Amino acid sequence: MDLTPETLRESYRRMRMIRAFETKLGELVTAGKMGGFMHLYAGEEAVAVGVCAQLRDADTVASTHRGHGHCIAKGVDVHGMMAELFGRATGVCKGKGGSMHIADLDKGMLGANGIVGAGIPLSTGAALTAKMKRTGGVAVAFFGDGATNQGAFHEALNMAANWKLPALYVVENNGFGEFTPTEFVVPVKDIADRAGSYAMKSMIADGMDFFDVTAKAVEALDHCRSGRGPVLLECKTYRFAGHFVGDPLVYRSKEDAEDWIQNRDPLQGFEAHVVEAGLVDAADLRRIDLEVEEELASAVEAAEAAPFPDVGELTRDVYVEAS
Amino acid sequence: MSRVLTLGAAINEALHIAMETDPDVIVLGEDVAGGGDRAGDDVDEMGGVLGTTKGLVKAFPGRVLDTPISEMGILGTAVGAAVTGLRPVAELMFIDFLGTCLDPLLNQAAKLRYMFGGKARVPLTVRTVTGAGMQSAAQHSQSLYWITAGIPGLKTVIPSNPADAKGLLLAAIRDDNPVVFCEAKLVLGARGEVPEGDYEVPLGVANLAREGGDVSLIGFGGTVPMCLAAAKKLAGEGIEADVLDLRSLQPLDEEAILTTLEKTGRVVIVDESTPRSSVASDVAALCVDRGFDFLQTPIRRVTAPHSPVPFSRPLEQAYLPSAAKIIDAVRSQD
């Protein structure tokens, strides 16, 4: 594990950007300045960044309806993302994808996905490509605890294990499938146990702890890269906001939420660890906070000023046209 | 040079050529290798439930993948492989099984390119057997191509003869869009001249299989031989029919449909599927929208009834369109 001050600062920057980005989106949607269904990733930053910081260019990421965090963690341009969410022509998907389908294949980001669990077989296909074309890449699928109740999860994991694909399946177990507590609908205590059916290696990480996620991701990716087959990594985490912006949050206890948000915040935990260990100064982190705020403000300003797509875009990109 | 092959054998030949000419082409599905890739084991392989992929695994070891019976996994994995650089040919054994796995086609393959602002390519081919005619009854006999033909982002083709099957499949595999390639049971065993070597039949181009001038019989897949048989019989009565084989349901060759309609002023559309939201209804709407001034008689559609496919042989025969039903439809236009 190569955690230099430089890589730690970069990981902090991405976690802080996710937090700031999602906070800003919440404000924009609530103020009626941005449309669409919006699912925020705040609280789960250590999972996306802890895993993605260990990835290489050849590695791919498939995401979920809660996908902004994975985009930022995989290095998708924040300006392009913000423009996309404003539905502008300068968006990373030309304004045609929006929040639930934001993607950047040039960065190996295979897309958020509006269908719960659908990214899991897609990522399995990316792992098949990596194996057959010997790219050396690992295909990482992020998905929630709810997705592990879909048939797509079980079919894909069975195939990946059988073919020993370089695939890492990261479950972000945030305790709720939409509004329903996970234990209401999942009979196993740990989602990781589900790997047993597929003779697949599984691991559990504290998803609020960047360093634990990092350690587990390093081990899991090494397993995948060395040809020993896929890994199911369960990260226990918490969704600071509701399922979507506007969720009244009547279904979870305020005390529990406060406990997670006040005492388990992954950014605070990261800061306490690196400052105590003398790896990064608190002053460095404050400077990054400011830089993030500035970049975000400039992204919002540019996005709001950018043009909407031309109406001619409506029927463009439905098919690849013959050249 | 050409030889006589069955439609199934023509597909097998196209798969060999596609795999020889492009190392990124892989074949995956239930039983497609059929156990024929066990190292050091001298077992023969099934090569698919109808034997269409037989011989591929021996010729291309490692590129013909038997999957579990997991249609969602097969199609989802194939979409992911396609978007990251392979050119998969996935087999959905019967199109009826779409009920277990529509999402990878409906919400993934069809939409990734559009949603991602034109960045993605999904060069995926899904081979699937369609239609009635083998007494396989309600869950293995449907003609559900109208579903995939109606989903923007997908292409859907259905050959009626072996030569077209080979050329259309090669074109489908080499197309950078997801293509559903339908193999109609009624013609899967049909024999015909098939050119040797590598050639493509372009997607979206209909074929005028017979020239008449008095009436236009429009069919595709298993209904084309019925149209030709009806045309032969009608010729004996002095009625000469155009027979237009659509070959491709999306993109649809609208100009070819309007051209034959303009010539004859009289059209009968023959579709093996059920009538609601069908290709037949779509073509009829096109004739009215864009060809109203050409129409000299009412349009007739010959389709299956709005019913599941029955098992019993006489019922199944009654379910399917036929040359006799087509002739009745033509006579009813007078």
pLDDT tens per residue, range B158-206: 999 999 999 999 999 999 999 999 999 999 999 999 999 999 999 999 9
Q: Identify whether B132 is part of a domain.
A: yes
Per-residue pLDDT, B267: 98
SS3 track for chain A: CCCCHHHHHHHHHHHHHHHHHHHHHHHHHHCCCCCCCCCCCCCCHHHHHHHHCCCCCCCEEECCCCCHHHHHHHCCCHHHHHHHHCCCCCCCCCCCCCHHHCCEHHHCECCCCCCCCCHHHHHHHHHHHHHHCCCCCCEEEEEECHHHHCHHHHHHHHHHHHCCCCEEEEEEECCEECCEEHHHHCCCCCHHHHHHHHCCEEEEEECCCHHHHHHHHHHHHHHHHCCCCCEEEEEECCCCCCCCCCCCCCCCCHHHHHHHHHHCCHHHHHHHHHHHCCCCCHHHHHHHHHHHHHHHHHHHHHHHHCCCCCHHHHHCCCCCCCC
pLDDT at A88 over 80: yes
* CA A123 – CA A107 distance, rounded (Å): 15
Confidence of residue B156 (pLDDT cuts 50, 70, 90): very high
Chain B positions contacting chain A at CB under 8 Å are 24, 26, 62-63, 65, 67-68, 70, 72-73, 75-86, 88, 100, 103-104, 107-108, 111-121, 152-153, 155, 175-177
Evaluate whether A83 touches A246 at the Cβ level (below 8 Å).
Answer: no
User: Residue A234's closest CA among A182, A304, A297, A277?
Assistant: A182
Confidence of residue B34 (pLDDT cuts 50, 70, 90): confident
- Which region among A25-39, A91-105, A221-235, B44-58 has the lowest average model confidence (pLDDT)? B44-58
Contacts of B150 in chain A (CB under 8 A): none
Q: Identify whether B151 is part of a domain.
A: yes
Nearest-Cα distance to chain B for A127, in Å, is 8
Nearest-Cα distance to chain B for A282, in Å, is 39
Statement to judge: residues B217 and B324 lie in one domain: yes
Per-residue pLDDT, B91: 98
Statement to judge: residues B91 and B148 lie in one domain: yes
User: Closest chain B residue to A122 measured between Cα atoms?
Assistant: B80
Which residues have C-beta within 8 Å of that of residue B328, sequence separation ≥ 6? Answer: none
Question: Listing from the earlier edge strand, what are the strands of the sheet with B267-270?
Answer: B207-210, B241-245, B215-219, B267-270, B300-302
Contacts of B176 in chain A (CB under 8 A): 320
Statement to judge: residues B87 and B186 lie in one domain: yes
Residue-number span of the structural domain to which B139 is assigned: 2-195
* CA B238 – CA B60 distance, rounded (Å): 53
Asked if B113 lies within 8 A of A320 by C-beta distance, the reply is yes
Using the 8-state DSSP alphabet, how is residue B324 labeled? H
User: What is the tally of structural domains in chain B?
Assistant: 2
| pLDDT tens sequence across B40-97 | 666 777 888 888 999 999 899 999 999 999 999 999 999 999 999 999 999 999 999 9
B164, B195, B226 - which closes a domain: B195
pLDDT at A322 over 80: no
| pLDDT tens sequence across A151-188 | 999 999 999 999 999 999 999 999 999 999 999 999 99
Residue B5 to residues A147, A154, A167, B194, Cα–Cα distance (Å): 47, 40, 42, 6
| pLDDT tens sequence across A91-139 | 999 999 999 999 999 999 999 999 999 999 999 999 999 999 999 999 9
Alpha carbons within 13 A on the beta-carbon side of A280: 23
Per-residue pLDDT, B45: 79
Mean pLDDT of B145-161: 98
- Number of Cβ within a 10 Å radius of residue A276: 8
Evaluate whether A226 touches A185 at the Cβ level (below 8 Å).
Answer: no
Please give the mean pLDDT across all residues of chain A. 96
**CATH number assigned to the domain comprising residue B303:** 3.40.50.920
| pLDDT tens sequence across B214-262 | 999 999 999 999 999 999 999 999 999 999 999 999 999 999 999 999 9
Kindly state the percentage of chain B with pLDDT values over 70.
Answer: 98
- Angle at alpha carbon of residue A216, lines to A276 and A268, rounded to 5°: 35
Statement to judge: residues B291 and B187 lie in one domain: no
Statement to judge: residues B307 and B216 lie in one domain: yes
Nearest-Cα distance to chain B for A103, in Å, is 6
Statement to judge: residues B98 and B212 lie in one domain: no
Q: Identify whether B200 is part of a domain.
A: no
Using the 8-state DSSP alphabet, how is residue B33 labeled? S
| pLDDT tens sequence across B284-315 | 999 999 999 999 999 999 999 999 999 999 99
Question: Listing from the earlier edge strand, what are the strands of the sheet with B87-94?
Answer: B64-66, B25-29, B87-94, B125-130, B179-184, B155-157, B248-250
Asked if A115 lies within 8 A of B70 by C-beta distance, the reply is no
Statement to judge: residues B288 and B226 lie in one domain: yes
Asked if B116 lies within 8 A of A97 by C-beta distance, the reply is yes
| pLDDT tens sequence across A48-66 | 999 999 999 999 999 999 9
Give the best residue of B27, B114, B248 to mutate against chain A (max A CB count within 10 A): B114
Domain spans in chain A, listed from the N-terminal domain onward? 5-308
Residue B114 to residues A106, A183, B98, Cα–Cα distance (Å): 16, 37, 22
Q: Give me the residue from B70, B111, B120 closest to A158, CB to CB.
A: B70
| pLDDT tens sequence across B126-142 | 999 999 999 999 999 99
Statement to judge: residues B250 and B222 lie in one domain: yes
Contacts of A151 in chain B (CB under 8 A): 72, 100
Statement to judge: residues B148 and B270 lie in one domain: no
Evaluate whether A80 touches A90 at the Cβ level (below 8 Å).
Answer: yes
Cβ of residue A128 closer than 8 Å to a chain B Cβ: yes
Burial track B191-209 (b if 16+ CB lie within 10 A, e otherwise): ebebeeeeebbebbebbeb
Asked if A97 lies within 8 A of B84 by C-beta distance, the reply is no
Q: Any idea which residue has 């960065």 for tokens? A: A107
Evaluate whether B309 touches B142 at the Cβ level (below 8 Å).
Answer: yes
Sign of CA dihedral B231, B236, B237, B240: positive
Statement to judge: residues B217 and B162 lie in one domain: no
Confidence of residue A1 (pLDDT cuts 50, 70, 90): low
Statement to judge: residues B153 and B264 lie in one domain: no
Q: Identify whether B201 is part of a domain.
A: no
Q: Identify whether B47 is part of a domain.
A: yes
Asked if A133 lies within 8 A of B86 by C-beta distance, the reply is yes
**Residue B216, burial from CB neighbour count under 10 angstroms (0-12, 13-18, 19+):** buried
Confidence of residue A323 (pLDDT cuts 50, 70, 90): low
* CA B217 – CA A143 distance, rounded (Å): 51
**CATH number assigned to the domain comprising residue B120:** 3.40.50.970
Burial track B68-105 (b if 16+ CB lie within 10 A, e otherwise): eebbbbbbbbbbbbbbbebbbbbbbbbbbbbebbbbbb
Statement to judge: residues B239 and B114 lie in one domain: no
Q: Are strands B267-270 and B300-302 parallel, antiparallel or unpaired?
A: parallel
Cβ of residue A139 closer than 8 Å to a chain B Cβ: yes
**Which residues of B belong to the active site?**
140
Task: Specify the pTM.
Answer: 0.96
At the topology level of CATH, where does A5-308 sit?
Rossmann fold (3.40.50)
Nearest-Cα distance to chain A for B38, in Å, is 14
Cβ of residue A118 closer than 8 Å to a chain B Cβ: yes
* CA B214 – CA B261 distance, rounded (Å): 10
| pLDDT tens sequence across B98-119 | 999 999 999 999 999 999 999 9
Please give the mean pLDDT across all residues of chain B. 96
Per-residue pLDDT, B40: 62
Contacts of B121 in chain A (CB under 8 A): 320
Evaluate whether A50 touches A273 at the Cβ level (below 8 Å).
Answer: no
Per-residue pLDDT, A317: 96
